[in-house]
Structure 1
Amino acid sequence: MPASLLERFRQAYRDLDLFPLLSAQQIEDFRVDYGQDTLARLEQAIDDADQDGKLIFSGHRGCGKSTLLARFGREMMQQGYFVVFFSIAEMVEMSAVDHINILYAIAVQLLSKATERQVPIPPKEKDAILTWLATTRTETTSRSLTGEAGIGGDILKLVTAKLKTESTFREEIKRTYERRISELVEKVETIAKCVRDATKKEVLVIIDDLDKLDLKLVEEIYKKNINALFQPKIRIVFTIPIAVIRDIELRTILQTASGSPIQQMEVVKFFSRENRHRSGAVPEESKVRLLLEVLQRRIESDLIEPDTAHELILSSGGVMRELVRIARACCSQCLLLLRREPERTEIKITDEILELALRDLRNDFAASLGTSRYQILATTYHHGEPEEVNDPEFLLLLHGLYVLEYRNGDLWYDVHPMLLELLKRRNLIETESEQDG
């Protein structure tokens, strides 16, 4: 029996939640070749790096970094590296991330992946590492988690769970190692050496989702504790928010500490800087087709009008996550209509549905805007850049995707297309008819 219209939209809604693509099945079903140039640059940078090389990877939230990094990890494994890819968000509550629990998470993940892949680490050395992981030592307490795990218990799973959910455990880890960073680094290197000796492969650690941290936390981690974070003599890829690399001091610290340029993933650029607001400007067709393929992998073609799909793509500003977020909101609007009028069989995503979805998403953006932020957006719209790129307010807008960064020869910025209606209502930019006149 053919699936009902309701179920088809439900499936599209579910498929639009599949980011990043991590499993083999997800990749087979939904992968679109995207970011090939960025992927090549990452591979080259790792091959050029020393054994203890560090790489900083940046880009807008939602531009596809996680999917690309997962693919990068798989390809580096094929090239002979022992790759450990993990999300810091799955290891530590994001508001509690610091340089100490990042290093601790690296140790836990290294040993977890070695165990999962049955790397033959000598039992004596592995037992010593597990004992170390299971024990915290502070001025006021010394305890072992072995008892909690029970006989034959999985220390790694217990430690991972506690690191994620228990603030008291994270605080113990912090107090234990904040003055003994070298001991923590030594353990990371010990595990890496065991893996290297057993597999004859170089270790590569890729840490995702650090770019989603609050900007103040990023400064604390990367500016004040960069030396500790970069101590382990293994290759590590760190992610960082695009907004913070506008800070000259922090950018200099990162590039000096890593010894290599910051790698950046660009969003899809439909227009040149000169044509970005020109009435009748034609977007670059190859870029539109790329994002159209992303949609077609998730929404059956008869569920969306072709012209609406085109407009939806342009409304994303070229940010992959925004494309998916808008399409998902459209599916939600269709599902709502079907619940109200279940007998209808002709419902699909039209311009009207798209506008309803954009209205709700636009209102979410508007909730955090005030007069001064509207002015920054207007200036950026008109000039392709703000008055001051290091203005903390501009950086917040960049971090929150209110402003998007583009590159084509030079660096420039534009307002998220979804927000243009808000600027028009405040008479901060002209309407198309006014421009034509």
Structure 2
Amino acid sequence: MVLNVGQLFRACNPSKTLNYGDAKDRACYIDFAAVRGNDVVKELRRTINLSGDDATCQLFTGHIGCGKSTELSRLKQELEDLNYHVVFFESSEELDLADVDISDILLVIARQITQSLAQADICLEPTRFQKILHGAVDLLNSEVTGLKLNIPALDSKVGMSHKDGEYSLAFGIGELTTKSRDSKEVRSLLRSHLEPRVNTILEAINTEIMVPAKTQLQQQGKAGLVVIVDNLDRIDNLEKLPNRSQPEYLFVDRGEQLKQLTCHVIYTIPLVLAFSNEKERLSNRFGSDPQLLPMVRVQNRDQSSCEAGMAALKQMILVRAGQDQLSELFDSEATLERLCQTSGGHVRNLLVLMHGCLKKDDPPVSSKLLEQVISQRRYDLSKPITADEWELLRQVRESKAVRGEDAYQTLLRSLFVFEYRDEEQSWFDINPILTDAEELR
């Protein structure tokens, strides 16, 4: 098959997330479960499917760029194959991740659910919830000059039966959340009205949206309602309150409220919480530990090569190129192996390196070209590393461990160190891009 370089370039775009529900994207999907050490998607799915009508709330985390969104896309498709109604959305499209509160998250979830249910011909009459929103709109229209918002009349039904031109509840909430995201002033006013009413909002969502939705979904033969909130792992790790970071405030201090939605919910959370001193409190809040998606193993703890992991990463490049043979892609198999090994099993890193090579020249990628790209990537990653951090990296290289919240902040969040797992244990190792840095020799 003739190699289409433009198609390969687009397929290796590190910013693109595979949509598992799309047949073309699914053809590019590689199941890495066996070389990650666990099948997180299977565990998330089984927890939902075995719980029946009992609501569940699960936390999902991992390095940014390690493949969480793609795995959640696969989970969505598998749940839909089991006849669940799944609402899956990226919170980064709805929220200012530098400044998030519980009422913001609940409004966005309510908007996404009502919009999805309307498309499924589910009709709701959430009068109490709309009264709360009307109170917020009245406050904003009175306090903010020129701000005009629209939400449905209190006696209107929310569903596909709307007449042309009539506003849906989802549209009304969208007006609120968009203005809130784009203006700190609006966000502050909206929260002043909604935050004292969070428990009332939760009760209204559960009784006026969740209960009738689940009843009507059952009448349609659906197994249940699942909400997947992606990209909350990207919220900034800023101080929200004195001595409390934003992730700790949302998921530890206010986690009890986030888990009160009476449907199946999955939240992505920042990896920092899995290494925080608050991890036990987090697990107690939600009733289980966060599910972590590790890196694809390129080598084992004893430094021997993980042949299965390397084979899976090679296959990932080949399927995106639409090729069975590597001769048109690389000057030798050793060059492809070098690419996969240097990625450290971090899926986006692999695509970043391949994309970098394709920017410079057409395939076959030569060993010399790959080393140029690796060298530049190493330089960019090394620039912010301090002398103390180089010492921490040397310790990780020897001990295969990261201890303490401060060490996490420095090493893992900056992608200087990766976590790996096999069937028996987990360990850490430095990002292979840094292996040949002079500071580590």
Per the TM superposition, whether the score is higher than 0.5 is yes
| Inter-CA distance 399–161: structure 2 relative to 1 (3 Å threshold) | farther
Does 1:231 pair with 2:231? no
Does 1:309 pair with 2:336? yes
Residue 63 of structure 1 and its aligned partner are, at CA, apart by 1.7
Partner of 2:49: 47
Separation in structure 2 between the aligned mates of residue 113 and residue 132 of structure 1, nearest angstrom: 21
Q: Deviations over 1:66-109 (max 9, x none)?
A: 11111111211222322111111111122123222111111011
Q: 1:297-336, aligned counterparts within 5 Å?
A: 297-299=319-321, 300=323, 301=326, 302-305=328-331, 306-334=333-361
Residue 148 of structure 1 and its aligned partner are, at CA, apart by 12
Residue 147 of structure 1 and its aligned partner are, at CA, apart by 8.0
| Inter-CA distance 64–375: structure 2 relative to 1 (3 Å threshold) | same
2:428 to 407, 410, 413: 413
Q: Deviations over 1:106-148 (max 9, x none)?
A: 10110011112222x15xx167756755651586766862289
Partner of 1:265: 293
Q: 1:287-436, aligned counterparts within 5 Å?
A: 287-299=309-321, 300=323, 301=326, 302-305=328-331, 306-334=333-361, 348-386=364-402, 389-408=403-422, 409-422=424-437, 425-426=438-439, 428-429=440-441
Separation in structure 1 between the aligned mates of residue 166 and residue 108 of structure 2, nearest angstrom: 22
Which amino acid in structure 1 is aligned with residue 115 of structure 2? S
Separation in structure 2 between the aligned mates of residue 180 and residue 114 of structure 1, nearest angstrom: 24
Length, aligned pairs only:
399
Partner of 1:81: 84
Residue 350 of structure 1 and its aligned partner are, at CA, apart by 1.3
Separation in structure 1 between the aligned mates of residue 334 and residue 25 of structure 2, nearest angstrom: 28
Instruction: Kindly indicate whether the alpha-carbon contact (under 8 Å) linking 1:63 and 1:265 is maintained by their aligned counterparts in 2.
Output: yes
1:212 to 230, 234, 241: 234
Separation in structure 2 between the aligned mates of residue 160 and residue 295 of structure 1, nearest angstrom: 39
| Inter-CA distance 137–159: structure 2 relative to 1 (3 Å threshold) | closer
Larger mean CA deviation between 376-385 and 149-158 belongs to 149-158
Instruction: Kindly indicate whether the alpha-carbon contact (under 8 Å) linking 2:228 and 2:267 is maintained by their aligned counterparts in 1.
Output: yes
Separation in structure 2 between the aligned mates of residue 258 and residue 242 of structure 1, nearest angstrom: 16
Q: Deviations over 1:343-365 (max 9, x none)?
A: xxxx5211111112112222221
| Inter-CA distance 193–84: structure 2 relative to 1 (3 Å threshold) | same
| Inter-CA distance 83–151: structure 2 relative to 1 (3 Å threshold) | closer
Does 1:195 pair with 2:218? no
Partner of 1:32: 30
Structure 1: tracts of 5 or more residues without a match:
336-346, 430-437
1:172 to 181, 186, 189: 189
Separation in structure 2 between the aligned mates of residue 349 and residue 172 of structure 1, nearest angstrom: 55
Residue 205 of structure 1 and its aligned partner are, at CA, apart by 0.9
Instruction: Kindly indicate whether the alpha-carbon contact (under 8 Å) linking 2:63 and 2:271 is maintained by their aligned counterparts in 1.
Output: yes
| Inter-CA distance 162–141: structure 2 relative to 1 (3 Å threshold) | closer
SS of residue matched to 2:250: helix
Instruction: Kindly indicate whether the alpha-carbon contact (under 8 Å) linking 2:389 and 2:410 is maintained by their aligned counterparts in 1.
Output: no
| Inter-CA distance 188–144: structure 2 relative to 1 (3 Å threshold) | farther
SS of residue matched to 2:16: coil
Separation in structure 2 between the aligned mates of residue 95 and residue 243 of structure 1, nearest angstrom: 15
Instruction: Kindly indicate whether the alpha-carbon contact (under 8 Å) linking 2:89 and 2:230 is maintained by their aligned counterparts in 1.
Output: yes
Structure 2: tracts of 5 or more residues without a match:
154-163, 238-244
Separation in structure 2 between the aligned mates of residue 128 and residue 100 of structure 1, nearest angstrom: 16
SS of residue matched to 1:146: coil
Residue 198 of structure 1 and its aligned partner are, at CA, apart by 1.0
Q: Deviations over 1:139-175 (max 9, x none)?
A: 6766862289995355634643652442244333322
Superposition CA RMSD, Å: 2.8
SS of residue matched to 2:361: helix
Separation in structure 1 between the aligned mates of residue 111 and residue 78 of structure 2, nearest angstrom: 23
| Inter-CA distance 16–230: structure 2 relative to 1 (3 Å threshold) | same
Which amino acid in structure 1 is aligned with residue 210 of structure 2? A
